Every structure is written in C-alpha cells, then in structure tokens.
Structure 1
Amino acid sequence: MAIKVLVVDDEAAAIDVLKYYIDMTPTLSLLATFTDSRQAIQYCMLHDVDLLLCDIEMPLMNGLEVAEKQLGKTAVIFTTAHTNYAVKAFELNIVDYLVKPISYERFLQAISKYKEQFPTSVDDHFFVKTGTKGHLERINIADIIHVEGARNYVTIYHGTTQTITLLNLKDLEQRLPARDFLRIQKSSIVAIKHISGTKGGSVLLTNGNLVVIGPTYKEQVAKVINSKLIN
C-alpha cells in the first residue's frame, strides 16, 4: 500500500522538487500540495494522511506549529532552508529534518526512516482483470520479472507467462515493494533480483528481455548496480 503524502511549502519551486521526487518513488502517493499551512491542517482533518513534508518558515502558521497540531496523528518530515530549528523539531518527534537543497538520495533516506518507524504489511500477491469477462488472474509479486506500461494497459511478465491487463502503471507500481523493484524508464519497471546484467544502455533480464534505460533513470539504475559491483 502506498504511503499517502501531503506537501506544504510557501514556495512553488520547492513543491515542484518534492512532487518530482514523490513521482520517482513507487511507494509514495501524493494527495495534495499547499502553500497555506492552515489549509493543510484542514485537509488533514478531513483526509487520511500518512506523511507530511513540511517547510518551517511560512507565514500565518509555521511548520513547527503544524507539527504540534499533527502530533500523534500524522508523521512529519521537515524540508527547510534553515538549520537552527533542528533541536525544537526533533523535540516534536518528527521523522527527519531535510535541509534544502534536498538531493533525491537524501530524500530516500528520510522515506526509509519513515518506513522503519511506521512499518506496514506488504501483500505477496494481487489480482488483475484479464480479457475474459469475469476472470481474474492472481499475480505473485515474487514471480514478477518485468512490468511494461502502454497507455492504459500494463503487461506483466511473471515466471514464463505474460499477462496484459487494463491498468495504470503508476497504480501497479504503488503495489510493488520499492526495495525489490526499480523503474528504469517511464514505461518500464523491473525486479532487481531478475537483472542478470547490463548491455550498453539497457538492462538484461533473466527471461532474456532487454529493456532500455531511460535518461532520467540512468543515475538511479547505476547506483543499484554499483551497490552489487565487486571491483
């Protein structure tokens, strides 16, 4: 199940960065963004929010006040350009304190801290609709090798089988554990354990498929591969 995230910052550029990072992270789902912290509090009262990414120095109601109001309700990660609030912030039992500019790697570290503090159960399978009316097919997550999206359809390569279903790739991505799967281009996700090597600008999978690595994802893929590299 995806972690439901709310972003609060009075600077649009800062929100754009966090929106991009959230979109890059399969286990996160962005609910909404606010430049007005008071509106964010109202939203939290009406909706189920797991994690709040919040700036500190904001007009009307600052991030510390927001965190105090959400204490025991919603987890908070501060995203701020200022270091002088760190002590007060951690007194509020926040998850992490990110200082701008925030790198994607540092962002992921904060998300990992959230997952450690608030573990959730992970399903080992799910069901999808097939082309046959009334027929559902069980997909075991451990069997998935590669997932490929095309418009509103997704092809799931699992074991020696491939299943095509009417589904959005983003929705499926949120059901896959981030530690086990890696998006390598806009329309492709691969199981890390099924990467058998790289060839040029592509990833070679255990089923023989060769999937091109998208320019946006090259750095992320390289980090995963290099973490297993023996020099």
Structure 2
Amino acid sequence: MILKIEALNFAYNKERVLKNINLEAEKGKLITLIGPNGSGKSTLLKCINNYLVPNQGIIKIKNKNIKDFTKKELAKIIAYVPQASETKFNLNVFETILMGRKAHSGWKATQKDKDITAKVICEMKLDKIAFKDINNLSGGQQQKVFIARAVAQAAEIILLDEPTNNLDLKHQLEIFEMIENEVSTGKTVIVTMHDLSLVSRFSDRIIMLKDGCIYSDGTGHTLSASNINSVYGVEVSLKEHNGKKIIIPEKIYV
C-alpha cells in the first residue's frame, strides 16, 4: 500500500469535519471521493498533503508516518492541485509547469528540469500554448496546465480537488484523459468530484463521505440509488451504459 490512513479525525475549532477515517490506497488506481458539500472531501485531501494536521490518527506514506517527512521529501511523493481559482502570478505555461520541479532542484531549474517540463508539455498537448501567459487562458486550459505541473513534479500520489469543476464537456474529458494516463504509469490519483456519472465512468474505486465519515467504499455498488438518497437527500434513477452508471436526479428525497 502506498497510502494508509488510520483512525483519522480532524476538526476546525470544535467542529468535527473528519471522523475516524480508515482507508488504504494502492498504486495505479484512480480513487474518487464523493459526497455533498461539507462532507470532508477537500479536508481529507489537505490532511493527506500534510497541509492540515489531524487532531488524531496516523497517515502513512509507503509505511512511513507523514510527520517524519520533510516538506521537500513529501513534495517528491505527493502533488496537490486545489480547486480551480484565479491565478495571481505572471508566468507563462512553460514557467508554471516548471514550478513542479522545485521539489527536485530548488528554485534554480536545471537543464534536466527544463527537458522534463518540455516533455510533459508535448505529452499533454500543451505545446501550442507553452509560452502564453497563464492568466490569459481559459479555465479548462489553466486546469490542464496545473495538472501538468503536478505531473512534472513526478510524484507518486496526485491529489486533485474537483479538477473538472465548471469545465465544459470537452475539457472534462481532456482532464480525465490526462488522469488516466498518469494512472496507467502506476501513479495513485485521488480526486474529489460532484458529477456522479463521470465518477462511475472513470473511477477504479469510489469512497462516499457523509458527515465526515466513510459511508460506503467500493466500486459500482457505492453508487446505488439508496446510498445516493441517504447521502445526498436526492431521489435518482440509474441507467446502464457500457457497464457504467448514468445517474439522473429526479427530486429532493423526503
């Protein structure tokens, strides 16, 4: 197991957000965290990234307590892409992706760092915008660049917080194409998502959170109508397409 979480609890002030979280993650899997707003998805990613320190519990990376890593050591193992937000730095695409190499070389990029950045740009089909200002790109293009930065970081675990939020269908599929490529190379990718149909199509494993607890953990059975009703308070219809589920919201569950 590359990641193991044991009895994790986290609270903002006195409000408990995560309650006794236990999970393990294998290499080469796309794991999706789902649940309504406020269920603890983003908080869990931040704990895994050591951005937030749990009140109780242990997080182990490759059987080593996360507290025992230096920031630089951890950055070589975990890459984190937060929810899409406005950029506030004046860099072009190449420079932005090159930032992912800091964990390996510090502030002064080597020729190897530049070569790896150029390779990532070509592999992710960003060469046509490589020297455009990041602030002048669309939301979908920016998100692809931020994921490319995480790929250039060469981390074994990639954490993505709502990577397709507010993106059109084409950009959503492009993002998942990038994610699937990373998973195919043995990376462990953990994402948070709201679109349950996309979750069903692409996930190897689905973890459903409710009120800070793991409500269900598995594959297709997690997205049952009864689970969705209980967790989201919405009545849904389920359709099958190529062995995957399409979730159709019908009405608020009473």
Output the TM-score relative to the length of structure 1.
0.32
Which one scores higher on RCO, CA 8 angstroms, separation ≥ 6?
Answer: 2
Output the TM-score relative to the length of structure 2.
0.30
Point out the structure with the larger helix share: 2
